[in-house]
């Protein structure tokens, strides 16, 4: 009869080989991301950002302290809140409408710079200009804007923006 097995002998594992295989598999699985990351790293190196980022990370605590002190001043926090409000406003306006208005503003500024700077307009010149269809369209848009703004100012629910879901206060 055979002797009972009293000790199990495990085959030695080659941890370095297994780690190397896992790394190779990860490289194969993420090849596109790695190539993109290397391109980003190259672009950062070409622009001289690598030393800047390294210094920023090495001096992170001091930099963070200075940034927090600068941002926590009253004027800066108000400016940041205004910037966030402007971004929220722009996010509600359809891009096509903004493009149309900006294009119209550009044409208006172009026309205004062509106009003689000290040119005077009399009452009859103003009345004549009011008959121009382009001026009429601009005035109609301006009055529609003023009407909408006035109704927004008159409605207490619209005048006070809700502070729901605004994230942490700065």
Asked if the model's pLDDT at residue 4 lies above 90, the reply is: no
Asked if the model's pLDDT at residue 170 lies above 50, the reply is: no
Percent of the chain with pLDDT strictly greater than 70: 91
Domain boundaries, the chain: 16-58
pLDDT at 40: 93
Contact 152, 159 (CB under 8 A): yes
Q: Global pTM?
A: 0.42
What digits encode the pLDDT tens for the residues 14-37?
Answer: 888 889 999 999 999 999 999 999
For residues 42 and 66, the model is more confident at: 42
* DSSP assignments along 105-159, one per residue: HHHHHHHHHHS-TT----HHHHHHHHTSHHHHHHHHHHHHHHHHHHHHHH-HHHH
Asked if the model's pLDDT at residue 11 lies above 80, the reply is: no
pLDDT at 167: 47
pLDDT at 166: 47
pLDDT at 29: 93
pLDDT at 36: 94
What digits encode the pLDDT tens for the residues 150-166?
Answer: 888 888 776 455 555 44
Q: Taking residues 108-137, what's their average pLDDT?
A: 85
- Cα 39 from Cα 43, distance rounded (Å): 6
């Amino acid at each position: 009869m055979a002797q009972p097995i009293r000790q199990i002998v495990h085959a030695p594992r080659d941890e370095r080989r297994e780690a190397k295989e896992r790394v190779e598999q990860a490289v194969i699985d993420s090849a596109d991301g790695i190539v993109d990351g290397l391109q980003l790293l190259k672009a950062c190196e070409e622009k001289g950002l690598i030393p800047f980022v390294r210094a920023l990370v090495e001096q992170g605590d001091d930099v963070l302290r200075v940034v927090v002190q600068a941002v926590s001043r009253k004027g800066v926090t108000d400016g940041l809140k205004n910037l966030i409000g402007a971004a929220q406003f722009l996010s509600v306006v359809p891009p096509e409408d903004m493009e149309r208005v900006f294009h119209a503003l550009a044409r208006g500024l172009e026309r205004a710079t062509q106009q003689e700077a000290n040119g005077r307009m009399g009452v009859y010149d103003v009345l004549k200009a009011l008959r121009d269809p382009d001026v009429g369209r601009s005035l109609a848009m301006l009055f529609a804007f003023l009407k909408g703004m006035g109704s927004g100012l008159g409605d207490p629910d619209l005048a006070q923006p809700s502070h729901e879901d605004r994230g942490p206060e700065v």
